[in-house]
Structure 1
Amino acid sequence: MKNRLFGFVVLMIVGLLPSQSRAQGRLYYFMDPKDSLIGVKDDKGRVIIPPKGAPIMYFEPGVPITDSLINLFDMDETDTGTALSFGSMYNRKGQFLYRPLAYDNGPDYFEEGLARCVQKGKVGFVNEQGKVAIRPQWDWVSPFNYGYAFACNGCYWDRNKDAEHPPMAYKENAKTFYINREGKSVQLMKQRKTEKDLPVDGGYLPYPFKYTAVERKILDEIEAMEVLSKIRNANIATKAEGKDALLQFEIVGRPSALSPYYKIQGYSNGSFDKEDPFLFYRALTGDYFQVGWDGKDKTPFAQWLKEALESCAQYFREHPDAPNKFDVNRYLERL
């Protein structure tokens, strides 16, 4: 009994580490009245990051900053390549970490534990601690999905065709390839070796995930929740059958000093496209949370499941002929 209690206490301490470290030193944005630039101070009024960010972001000076990585929009005048940066990223000590790729009107967000960074016009990746995980070396690279990213050199955005949403164009000597999480290019296979190999460009990329016995049990645990696939299929216009009707889950992040969670991503079976609503965090205590697309908003699993089921029920009332209709009350009664 004593050993079990000790183990529980250790797990609770690990789970509290990130929030405690943030609470120990509260940080706040402030604006310099002289030049209207934004910086960061601590709760004692000491300047952690001098004013340098242009005020293009919405912020509340009196609200504590909870993010472990802090973005300020200080322009880099040398940004002239295909990939442009969105200011600079700092840690909570005020130390510069990297220049994030400008994407979707802000700094690139983390996908499968990695976000894109820019250095001298080339793109690479950083991990969630803000450390360079894959050195910048490509003109462009996509976010990671299912353990792979598309990269190219000799490519550029053709703003002559569309200044606001330019298409990707390729020079005569351009090279394109797929990279793994180590930044190495991976050759396409002509034939699929396993049903979980990724189909792309007329070939296949090998199944990229490897697990310990403990991690395999975690995946077995969530894959046994058949209701998740039912929710995913609820508003699909065609009948979902066989393996295509089931979500496939993979662990895309593991507990670290900044996050005490396993991160579990759901993919559509067959195409292996990321299913955004089906990103879950699993605490070491076994508790689950559903996570928003930005990885910040966590909803207790039971609450999210109830809301998702109620949404399905509403859809079925409005579409009584829905081909993937199921007994919602059967699952609501278990909550």
Structure 2
Amino acid sequence: MNRTLLRSAVSFTLAVSAVSCTSTGSNSSNSADQYDLLPYQMADRWGYLNQQGKAAINPQFAEADLFHDGLARVENTAHKVGYINPKGTFIIAPAYEAGLAFSEGLACVVPASGQITYVDTKGAVKFTLANAQEARSFHEGLAAVRIGEKWGYVNPEGRLVITPTYSKASSFVQGQARVEQQRGPFESKAGFINKQNQIVIPLEYADVSYFSQNRAVVKVQEKYGYLDDKGTYVINPQFDQAGMFSQGLAPVRLGNNWGFIDESGKIAINPSYAGVLPFSANGLALAGDNATRQIGYLDREGKWAINAQFEEATPFYADIAFAKVGSKWGVIDKQGKFLENPTYDDVYQPKLNGSALVEEDGSVTALTRDVTDSEEMAVTSEAASANSYTPVAGMEDVGAEGEAKADAMEAASDAASSSALPTEEQVREGAPAYLTGTWRGKLDDKPFTLHIDKVAGDQVSGWNQVGSNKRPVSGTFWAWVEGDGCGYGLKLNEPGDDKWDGKFELQVTSKEGGALNINHAYGTWTANNGKSEKSVSLDK
């Protein structure tokens, strides 16, 4: 689980991460009943609270997600994935190496055999994709799958209905799916197709989000605007950053301040906040006060409905939200009163994709089958334009440098294939696009996350997490080109004020070699006291 808003003396940050199949962005499955039970953590175990903030399922799981189609994906203490009903009973036994939440009656899982499989809500196998390396949840009757290096789509019978031809593909939202084609080692272009595999918006955008309320965020010449579902500009690029529409309003940044616009592009709430998240269904939006750096909730007129008084807080889930005081979380109502005093170690928080400032959905979440390295399975995220739209108030757009260099590299890149290498300088210039974002894998045998927030010059900063222990990291990178591969060396240090802190030394490159997919990191973590060393393996 990750932070939503963070009180900081330096910057006010909207955290970015992702492992979820909730379709908030498309408004297709964000029904109130999915919030009837919400995950919470005591010590190192997760259980569920009801809408009154009372324990409904006692903490017993290593991980826990929201309910979808009446079932919730959980992970037991042996780190096997299964699915429970609202009483906490396993309906599908925890026997899978990985799995996604249910969507449209099917869940994508990986059994011990290593083949990506779809099961129904009773656990019966519907079909297996023997040759697939990655797969997403079903949305609007189709699921995106990767076979080899290309993405296509299957129907609920497991039959390919759109041949794998795209370098990336998201789920269908409002009849359209965001797809990409690689143009060179450091450039891809995105557009949209319909269910007949017809291009409805040309693949000509470096940075474009998926659709919400018939609007997609697009970036042109360092400014953000919005397209409609025909590819026409409905709000011209004019903002320094922008998020997706929810409840008729969208977050935007002008200078260092955040506010909201309406669907015509007019300012609805003046940009005067350190950070904001989109409006919840109850008409309240999480926001940070510029003066106090505390967090509260705005109404649709931009007035404080709940005064800024919390260090951390979540959006509202139906009638309740979580707020943090000190090191503990509690449950608040719509007036900001605690229904349950802060006693929880962690709570459910939305996973935000980098482009949208909304909870990440199945269109950008994939289950990955790693067929090249010990058949390890992992749930990974490929947020649409995740390297370019960073919901961080007061910090630079980490993808801007990568885009600015794309034109200079295009001539050399056009003829490139997976075996054609760029120059070392081109690799270095591409670092903001390739290093930033969320990397997931293992620290020895434990699930491990590394998130890179910022790349500036040769400096790198972000955080890492093992279990509930999250620590900031910072350090340096360098670029290399050698033989038939290229990538980065990465040295990262934890602060050193905790006895368990240490340092990372990583190589970041492509599993397959060549230049096109710098997507794998490996190396070691060494304790500062020199008494412990652990292996690291990560994929993006």
Structure with the higher strand share, 1 or 2 = 2
- What range is the shorter-chain TM-score in? 0.3 to 0.5
TM (norm. structure 1) is 0.34
TM (norm. structure 2) is 0.24
Q: Relative CO higher for 1 or 2, CA cutoff 8 Å, sep ≥ 6?
A: 2
Structure with the higher helix share, 1 or 2 = 1
